[in-house]
């Protein structure tokens, strides 16, 4: 595996405990490294002497590096290409919003500028969703908890991050332990992100959903549903065969009962596949007993890989109107951001472990949590 990241939570904690060093020094070390990313271990003040030799022999301040930074023309989206220790690349995307835009309940919205970071949890993905370029590259490897946290550290050098969404490369719940450790690190000192400001998205890994609330209470769960019936879901999401819709909805009922939290439903709009009026009625029926927010996502073509077309704006709005009007389900349409830097949903693909992404991007995720 090579030298480990200081942000690899379980490894750092285990090594400190093994050496008899108090683990309360770990957040202090993180804070110093975040503020001084080019520091040497000896520059960190007030550590026990044993800590310095341990850090020098076992850990690096960073095992990843920012290879490039690309800003959208409108300045609201920034894409980071991050090179990992094994030579692979992942991307993270910063999306900037102003909560004061528009009105809420007829009154100006409170708040102000904020940034959401979309993070990757794997290189590639096993799920093989046909509308997503990441799935076309297959699965390469899991990220360590440190490599996940380092994306937040890199992004924090460019913008103050208020929300994190695990909606970049990979299926987060297929890298369960590392994601759980990373979220725990992000919600602790020195990052101190509230779990309510962290969202994990999944295609529906049932056994992981069953333990998620216990391991990460307060976390937001988003489910990539994308179809209201099993056969359509299997057509566009081959992994859905392993997670039947009936069993998935049963697991979500239990999750919601235990967590008492909204569940966010992601639904990509594919012309003639899942965007007809009867699909909207089926989806409304499927979700009628849940407390959910549905996020309709305009499909972004992925070049020669794409076999789908984008739904018309009229279809998207009709779909939204049915869910809102007939089923009284809060339904939003995802705002597209960063298209000029290929930062749109489903377009991220890395062609090999040592090759940078070509015409790639990461999901332009709305900060759904703060739009409740």
pLDDT (tens digit, 9 = 90+) per residue, 79-122? 999 999 999 999 999 999 876 655 556 666 666 778 999 999 99
| % of the chain at pLDDT higher than 70 | 85
Residue 268, both tokens: 């990509």
Reference 173, options 129, 131, 211; nearest CA is: 211
Helix locations, the chain, DSSP H: 9-18, 25-35, 49-58, 133-136, 145-156, 176-186, 206-215, 230-236, 245-259, 277-286, 313-325
281-321 confidence digits (pLDDT tens): 999 999 999 999 999 999 987 765 578 999 999 999 999 99
Q: Is the pLDDT at 360 greater than 60, yes or no?
A: no
| pLDDT of res. 64 | 97
Beta-sheet strands, E only, within 32-180: 59-60, 65-71, 77-83, 89-98, 103-104, 107-108, 113-118, 122-124, 139-142, 163-166
Distance (Å) of CA 72 to CA 75, 127, 218, 339, 365: 5, 29, 33, 8, 15
Whether the Cβ atoms of residue 204 and residue 248 lie closer than 8 Å to each other: yes
Whether the Cβ atoms of residue 141 and residue 84 lie closer than 8 Å to each other: no
Q: Which of 118, 129, 132, 345 is an active site residue?
A: 345
Q: With the CA atoms of 167, 335, 70 and 91 taken in that order, what torsion angle do they form, in degrees rounded to the nearest 10? A: 10
Q: Is the pLDDT at 372 greater than 70, yes or no?
A: no
State yes or no: is 125 an active-site residue.
Answer: no
Q: Which of 91, 150, 171, 181 is an active site residue?
A: 91
What angle is formed at CA 98 by the lines to CA 95 and CA 100, rounded to 5 degrees?
160
How many Å apart are CA 339 and CA 359, to the nearest integer? 11
Q: What is the pTM of this model?
A: 0.89
State yes or no: is 345 an active-site residue.
Answer: yes
What value does the mean pLDDT of the chain take?
88
46-79 confidence digits (pLDDT tens): 999 999 999 999 999 999 999 999 998 888 899 9
Reference 227, options 240, 214, 215, 213; nearest CA is: 240
Q: With the CA atoms of 239, 117, 149 and 169 taken in that order, what torsion angle do they form, in degrees rounded to the nearest 10? A: 30
| pLDDT of res. 203 | 97
């Amino acid at each position: 595996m090579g030298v480990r990241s200081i942000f690899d939570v379980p490894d750092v904690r285990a090594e400190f405990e093994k050496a008899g060093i108090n683990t309360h020094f770990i957040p202090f070390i993180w804070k110093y490294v975040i503020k001084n990313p080019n520091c040497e271990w000896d520059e960190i003040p007030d550590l026990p002497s044993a800590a310095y030799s341990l850090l020098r022999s076992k850990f690096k301040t960073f095992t990843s590096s920012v290879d490039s930074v690309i800003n959208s023309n409108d300045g609201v989206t920034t894409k980071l290409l991050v090179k990992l220790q094994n030579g692979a690349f992942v991307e993270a995307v910063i999306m900037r919003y102003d909560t004061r835009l528009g009105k809420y309940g007829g009154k100006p919205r409170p708040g102000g500028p904020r940034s959401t970071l979309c993070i990757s949890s794997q290189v590639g993905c096993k799920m093989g969703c046909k509308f997503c370029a990441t799935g076309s590259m297959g699965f390469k490897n899991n990220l360590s908890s440190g490599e996940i946290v380092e994306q937040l550290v890199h992004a924090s050098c460019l913008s103050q991050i208020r929300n994190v969404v695990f909606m970049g490369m990979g299926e987060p719940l297929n890298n369960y332990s590392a994601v759980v450790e990373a979220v725990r690190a992000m919600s602790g000192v020195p990052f101190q992100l509230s779990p309510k400001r962290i969202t994990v998205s999944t295609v529906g890994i049932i056994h992981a959903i069953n333990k998620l609330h216990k391991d990460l209470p307060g976390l937001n769960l988003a489910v990539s549903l994308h179809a209201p019936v099993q056969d359509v879901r299997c057509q566009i999401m081959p992994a859905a065969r392993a997670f039947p819709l009936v069993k998935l909805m049963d697991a979500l009922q239990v999750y919601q009962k235990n967590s008492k939290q909204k569940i966010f439903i992601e639904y990509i709009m594919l012309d003639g596949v899942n965007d007809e009026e009867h699909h909207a009625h089926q989806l409304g029926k499927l979700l009628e007993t849940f407390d959910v927010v549905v996020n309709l996502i305009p499909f972004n073509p992925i070049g020669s890989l794409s076999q789908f077309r984008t739904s018309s704006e009229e279809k998207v709005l009709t779909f939204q109107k049915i869910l809102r009007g007939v089923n009284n389900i809060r339904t939003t349409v995802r705002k597209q951001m960063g298209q000029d830097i290929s930062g749109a949903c489903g377009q991220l693909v890395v062609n090999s472990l040592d090759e940078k992404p070509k015409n790639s991007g990461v999901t332009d995720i709305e900060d759904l949590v703060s739009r409740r």
